[in-house]
Amino acid sequence: MSEEGRAPTIYDVARLAGVAPSTVSRAFSRPGRVGAETAARVHAAAGELGYRANPLTRARQSGRTGAVGLIVSDVTNPVHFGIIRGVEEAAARAGYTMLLADAQESEEHERTALERLLPGVDGMVLASSRSSDRAIRAIAKQRPLVVLNRIVPGSRCVVADTEAGVRSALAHLRELGHHAVTYVAGPAASWADGRRWRALLDLGPEHGLKVTRVGSPAPTVSGGLAATAELLRARPTAVVAYNDLLAIGLLRGLAEAGVDVPGQTSVVGFDNIFGADICTPPLTTVAAPLRAIGSQAFLELHRQLDREPLRAQPVLTLPTQLVVRASTAARRRHAD
């Protein structure tokens, strides 16, 4: 019943069903506002013709696209796997399509992706954004927005409980007999980096741990590899890395330098990404409920889209959990 030139429109359906085009429109966009029998006739005709609403036109008219955008700071960082799947799943369940874009760890890319995506979506989820609070609030003015892994005052946010995670990591290290810990930092533009470092600094003393910090060129495996040199000078007995990717790079760098992990140095990561359990030694890490963060973010967005009453507090904090694997061990009595 198709194979003709172009796709059937509401006019075709209307003619076949013997109703007005507006009735067809209504039958689809607001069922209930149309008589049961009429609706049945319309749907029958539509089925026969293989009618499908033109989503672009519909979007333009109604102002709703039925899609939400997700921009991640880096699609190739496994930390986003769970987040992507979480958003995707919750969105699909609500009948929304998720459009994914990649900021490639660059603020400029992020802005471009955003500009491209924004007109085609009803709302946005920003994961690990590298933009300024100001820029983010500007977006929030244009479209409903939820921010992930970051707190932007005035915006709805979903984050992991960094403090609790850091606390458990510190307690773990302390229990193992460590007296000091070195933090290998992430990107300056990362909110999570600031938060993690801050928590370490604040909570270290409580746990009897001296906290120091070294930089890293990038929150990636090769960034960790590169950061090893500086670590080798200080020779800490325990290090906490900004994220697992960095930690994995550290693991490799230390191994290449002949430093035994965890014998001489314990290493803790963040996020518990894919890869954290296949490296050697498997990584002890502060796990975040990534999938839940993603789905909660969508749910929060959905409330905004439907103008439902929002949760009282704008920031939703999800629990973290220390996953102990083999990269941490008791401090050796006699450091070499």
Partner DNA sequence: GTGAAAGCGCTAACAA
Partner DNA sequence: TTGTTAGCGCTTTCAC
Q: Which residues bind DNA (CB under 7 A)?
A: 6-7, 9-11, 18-23, 25-26, 28-30, 33-35, 37-39, 53-54, 57-58, 60-63
Question: For strand 67-72 and strand 180-184, is the pairing parallel, antiparallel, or unpaired?
Answer: unpaired
The token pair at 155 is 């915006």
65 vs 285, which CB is nearer to DNA?
A: 65
Cα separations in angstroms, 322 against 90, 178, 219, 251, 269? 26, 17, 20, 18, 10
Least Å from the CB of residue 3 to DNA: 16
Task: Look at the block and give the residue holding tokens 């967005």.
Answer: 301
Binders of a second copy in range 206-225 (CB under 8 A): 221
Question: Pattern 279-308, binding to a second copy, x per CB under 8 A?
Answer: xx----------------------------
The token pair at 189 is 């533009």
Say whether residue 81 binds a second copy (CB under 8 A): yes
Least Å from the CB of residue 248 to a second copy: 6
Q: Which does 260 bind (CB under 5 to 8 A by kind): a second copy, DNA, none?
A: none
221 vs 322, which CB is nearer to a second copy?
A: 221
Among 15, 43, 48, 75, contact with a second copy (rule: CB under 8 A): 75
Pick from 204, 250, 256, 208: which is nearest to 227 by CA?
250
Question: Pattern 37-66, binding to a second copy, x per CB under 8 A?
Answer: -----------------xxxx-xx----x-
Say whether residue 106 binds a second copy (CB under 8 A): no
Give the C-alpha separation, 31 to 42, whole Å: 11
Judged by DSSP in three states, 98 sits in: strand
Least Å from the CB of residue 52 to a second copy: 8
- For 148, other C-beta atoms within 10 Å of its C-beta total 28
Give the C-alpha separation, 222 to 63, whole Å: 44
